[in-house]
Copies of this chain bind each other. A is one copy, B any other.
């Protein structure tokens, strides 16, 4: 803790990239890489570090993230804007559905760089948080790919979030992504897992992998070739339009690999 505190004191001063990286490294547990991101907001900067690779549900859990900025910002504004950012980034992340305690997202502002535009600050906080969220998902236990699931045209944000979480957490979707298989049937299955969403009609659902519509399709041969190439990349984006309304939500996760099993089956208490 002393060591972390010393690093943070370093961060809050000159924001030296090396210090942020050292702090990010100091809080690593089974992370394979330190996670750091930063953004400028006027003359000020926002720097964030994070650690976490599993047990991220329901909200952050073993994920710990610390932000510092030298912007001058009223505490109430910093609190409410940071909470809004966290809800769309760290709270939209899932590795394996399992849960834990300890979730922490903290932000500290020194004021040294003077006042900044508050909307610009919120955008900078969001940029840093989103980068860290993607880094955590990509470094999920055993992960070989980042999986981004966006559900849109939903009745409300809650519906979009529930459906997106069902997709990103489905073992069969996660293994299909691992195997680079554009298996829209499994995505449709995961939508169907949300039995409470009685206003969702299968005939109205549209599913895309990247920019390619796969359902209702059809996908022609050149589309299939492009799709196969896309699925082999290290980031896969699945988009689902429900056509029950106008709300959207995006969640972040990863594929399910034999590496995940190895890490968690070999671990002994």
Give the CA-CA distance A265 to B185 in the complex, in Å. 14
Contact A172 B261 (CB under 8 A): no
User: Which residues 228-269 in A have Cβ within 8 Å of B in the complex?
Assistant: 256-258, 260-262, 264-269
Chain B residue, CB-CB nearest to A228: B268
Contact A99 B175 (CB under 8 A): no
Interface check A222, CB cutoff 8 A: no
Q: Which residues of B contact A265 (CB under 8 A)?
A: 175-176, 178-179, 181, 256-257
Give the CA-CA distance A176 to B58 in the complex, in Å. 21
Give the CA-CA distance A33 to B82 in the complex, in Å. 55
Interface residues on A, range: 35 or more
Q: Which residues of B contact A100 (CB under 8 A)?
A: 189
Q: Could you list 13 further interchain pairs (A-B, Cβ under 8 angstroms) beyond the known A171-B260, A257-B265? A: A54-B172, A97-B97, A98-B172, A98-B193, A99-B192, A171-B264, A172-B264, A175-B265, A176-B267, A181-B268, A182-B269, A256-B265, A258-B262
A residues sitting closer than 8 Å to B (CB atoms) are 54-55, 57-58, 96-100, 170-172, 175-176, 178-179, 181-186, 189-190, 192-193, 195, 256-258, 260-262, 264-269
